[in-house]
Structure 1
Amino acid sequence: MVFGSFAENYEFAAMKSSGISLQRAMRGLTLFIVLVSITAFVFANNVIPAAEFKIINLRKNIAKMKPAMAITAGVFNEVGNINIKVDKKSGDNDQYLHDVIIHTGTERGGDYTVIKSKEGELVSSEGSNVLSLVLTDGNYYREVQPSDYSKRDHKPFMKSYFEEYTKNIDLSELNQVDMDDESYTTQSMLRIGELTKSIDSFSVSLNERKEAFATSMYSRTGVKSLDINFNPEESDKYKSFKHSILDNYNSNQSQRIVDDAIRTTNAAISHLSIKKQEFKQSSRRLNKYEIALHEKYVLAVACIVLFFVGAPLGAIIRKGGMGLPMVIAIIIFLSYHFIGIFAKNSAEDGSISPFIATWLSTLIMLPLGIYFTYRATTDQGLFSFDIITEPISKFFKKIGLVKPKDK
């Protein structure tokens, strides 16, 4: 806006007539932007992580002491050994819950019980370690896990309706909360040195787990033990084997071999599926740490790059104030912002490198900044349409549709 006002009021023309170039006019502001960039880097690396560390840990400690505060409407929240989701809360202390969904875990893992009710109320007495959740007008679903694995394919379950159901939540551990406890950390709470150390340890741990899993799966195949009892001197007796191995056994033995093979294969597939999700989550966490590391550098560089996009652009369009410059600035910033968001989301699941994702929007703006600075320095417009119109005009003149002007 400042450079647009200068250009609109012909201040730049006066500067240039006095021998002051655009680069010289931008020199002081450039130094200021560099200082802003350094300040942004210091804040991103020191102030913001420390503040977020304090705020999130304090919030978690308060939420443990006041479970009603831990229940956020519209999302699943972990309270004790249950996961609860409510559509909305009401009441003086947010004790009344509406459209409640509860998933209850088991000791072996998995959410085998689901409770849905239209209304709910959190009831507790002062000094009590038990929080009562009184549900009304709902349904109770429970998956039954038979001991016979063959019956689990039928997915048996129990279902019942209730007018009122009370679920007690043990808060004995939650009430013993140290408000000074600051053991909870995320990638956004760490500095560059801490992030680098965490990334190294996560990478080494993930690679070791993958190698151990690969070794374990190879051992499970039994390939290593195939030739343990094999005697080459007795190999002649194997020549009488039929083409199909199962044809060498009776029907009962063949069926047993097939069942064992299917069971082993299904177990291996299930194990692979579980490990795949586990490694995916670990890789996602590692990617988040790498993104957080690069974001600290990107913020500082982006301040300088966006300055060299905005300042020359204001001089080119020659408009000041809150009108057109503000519209163009918003469009450029939104483009920069959404490119960064889409790239980071792709980087979290491993679609692209975290380094490329964090730097992508800034690298896209960098050539724009160079281009706009060049156009503003050479007193050219935003775009030169002669590149498009000149070849077309020459083509029409060549085919005779347009007569050349007489000199």
Structure 2
Amino acid sequence: MKILDRYILTSYLKTFFTVFIILMFIFVLQTIWLYIGELAGKDLDAEVIFKFLLYFSPKLVPLVLPLTILLTSIMTFGNFAENYEFAAMKSSGISLQRAMRGLTVFILFVSLTAFFFANNVIPAAEYKSINLRKNIAKLKPAMAITEGVFNEVGNINIKVEDKSGDNGQYLTDVIIHQKTDRTGNFTVMKANKGELVGSTNSDVLSLILKDGNYYDEIQPTDYRKKPNKPFAKSYFREYTINMDLSNFNNVDLEDENYSNTQGMLKISELNESIDSFSTEYNKKVKDFSSYMYKRSGVTSMDINLNPSDSVQEIKNSILEKYDTYQAQQIVNLALGSVNGAISHIILKKSEFKKSAKQLNKFEIALHEKYALAVACIVLFFVGAPLGAIIRKGGMGLPMVVAILLFLTYHFIGIFAKNSAEDGSISPFWATWLSTIIMLPLGIFLTYRATTDQGLFVFDNLINPVRKVLKKAGLIRKKTK
């Protein structure tokens, strides 16, 4: 390795590791802030908390690494340009491409490492972290209750507006759906306040509800009374629900039985899952289409219909074969059948939408592993020439520029992936969109930097306008 390559690489690596450690520390602090309410006051030892943070840290690398490469490139090449080191290189016949050659090899190595990390380390860390968090939640049931959404705890589904207290045991605005052997939620309880009473040494957790109402839907024997939805309502000052937590407190924090998220899978496993989900999804859609076609009764109709006839003409031709009473009964049955079919279609549509969303998530997770490696290369060719152009090193302007570029890159990716989950755009384009947008910018900046041009040449924009104004006589020509 030549002295120049060694000098550039050493300067880059010093800044790279410093920036990476600082950014990782900041994002780990953010993780602690997000989960401090779940970890503090839970009687967890330091080893469990350390494992929790250790397992969550690898998931931060897809955020930290691209930002580190972008910021380090701007800072390093900005320092070279600010201290006229690039001018000295160019005067010696060394171009920007030649100066970047050694770092390009390093960035390729980093991108390959990032790919390996995303395919092996992050899935393993995701597997460990989710299982550890689930086990902690079982150890402390209050931790399993998230504000604002329904949570399954024991034999109830519970939703609370707010939690308070040292262990989150005091609940506000409680809604409970109690599970029964019957299909559906027939028993609902609402209370202004609630309190969780129990300990890790007990197999019973008591939920004490205060100042609320108890609703129990009555199932009438006469089906004609079902649309009225009769129910029994009672008021209580205090009501206690005891939940058996024998399986909760007997918790092994090393247990790892939870393994059904896309973040835990490698590329080979994702490909297998996507293929399996796609086959199953297409089969369900085809079976449902066939079922609805047969349910319509078209296959059993022995009537010659003219395709040019209107619906009203077809209906009249069928009903003419029956008297008025029978025709009325047929119409009522047909309307009931159509309404039932519509309800069934709406239900299946929601089910298919969930399946498609899950499939899209798996495809996004697959492409993200490749996109991370490519993003490292693209952001290097954005940051390095940009630093050479702005000719400013340090943590001031380079930090601002890097953050603005990275936020643009990051938010485009987030919005695109959210759109891809509901099927608005392809998961492939959603994952690669931010990188594809940054690629022309990297090419443009590299060209401008290697040809010793500024970021923008305003004369190219102003001169055509000036010529037009001169022809119009609005600007006088200069006289010698």
TM-score normalised over the length of structure 1: 0.90
Is structure 2 residue 159 aligned with structure 1 residue 85? yes
Q: SS at 1:111's partner residue?
A: coil
- Corresponding residue for residue 318 of structure 1: 391
How far does residue 112 in structure 1 lie from its aligned partner after superposition? 3.5
TM-aligned CA deviation for residue 325 of structure 1: 1.5
Partner residue of 1:267?
Answer: 340
**Aligned pair in 2 of structure 1 residues 129, 254: CA closer, same or farther (>3 Å)?**
farther
How far the C-alpha of 1:261 sits from its partner, in A, is 0.7
In structure 1, what is the Cα distance between the partners aligned to 2:336 and 2:113? Answer: 61
The equivalences for 1:271-282 within 5 A come to 271-282=344-355
1:222 aligns with 2:293: no
Instruction: Check conservation: 2:201, 2:249, Cα contact below 8 A.
Output: no
Does residue 1:53 correspond to 2:124, yes or no? Answer: no
Residue 405 (1) aligns with residue 478 (2): yes
Does the 8 Å contact 1:145/1:152 carry over to 2?
Answer: yes
Structure 2 partner of 1:170: 244
Aligned partner letter, 2:143: M
- Which residue of structure 1 aligns with residue 94 of structure 2? 20
Q: Distance in 1 between matches of 2:101 and 2:165?
A: 59
Tell me the distance in 2 between the aligned counterparts of 1:55 and 1:374.
Answer: 44
Output the CA distance in 2 between the equivalents of 1:242 and 1:59: 61
2:287 to 196, 212, 222: 212
Segment of structure 1 superposing worse, 146-155 or 210-219: 146-155
Compared CA separation, residues 27 and 84, structure 1 to 2 (3 A): same
Question: What do residues 64-98 of structure 1 show as CA deviations (whole Å, max 9, x unaligned)?
Answer: 34322322334332112322223343445433323
Which residue does 1:364 correspond to in 2? Answer: 437
Provide the rounded CA distance (Å) in 1 between the counterparts of 2:84 and 2:218.
Answer: 81
Gaps of 5+ in 1: 232-240
> Is the CA contact (8 Å cut-off) linking 1:242 and 1:248 kept in structure 2?
no
Q: Displacement of 1:369 after TM fit?
A: 0.5
Query: How far apart in 1 are the matches of 2:192 and 2:343?
Result: 37
Structure 2: state its 5+ residue gaps. Answer: 1-74, 305-313
| Kept after mapping to 1: 8 A contact 2:409/2:434 | yes
Find the aligned partners of 1:125 and 1:382 in 2 and give their Cα distance. 64
Counterpart position of 2:213? 139
Residue 42 of structure 1: which of 116, 120, 136 is its match? 116
Per mean C-alpha deviation after superposition, the further-off stretch among 242-251 and 100-109 is: 242-251
Q: Does 1:350 align with 2:423?
A: yes
Q: Which string of whole-angstrom CA distances, capped at 9 and with x for unpartnered residues, describes residues 334-364 of structure 1?
A: 1111100000000000110000000000000
- Give the direction of change, closer, same or farther, for the CA distance of 1:125–1:191 in structure 2 (3 Å limit): closer
- Relative to the length of structure 2, the TM-score reads 0.77
2:11 is matched with: none
Please give the alpha-carbon distance, in whole angstroms, between the structure 2 residues aligned to 1:170 and 1:99.
23
Question: Over residues 357-396 of structure 1, what are the superposed CA-to-partner deviations in whole Å (9 max), with x where a residue is unaligned?
Answer: 0000000000000001111111111112223211111111
Count the aligned residue pairs: 396
Give the superposition deviation at 1:247.
4.6
Deviations along 1:227-278, one digit per CA (max 9) or x if unpaired, are 2xx79xxxxxxxxx99454354333322211221111111111111111111
- CA distance in 2 between partners of 1:189 and 1:114 (Å): 36
AA matched with 2:233 = K
User: Partners of 1:109 and 1:316 in 2: how far apart?
Assistant: 67
Distance 1:113 1:385, change over 3 A: farther
CA RMSD, Structure 1 to Structure 2 (Å): 2.4
* Contact 2:173 2:190 (C-alpha < 8 Å) held by counterparts: yes
Map of 2:278 onto structure 1: 203
Q: What is the distance in 2 between the residues matched to 1:370 and 1:159?
A: 69
Letter in 2 for 1:254: A
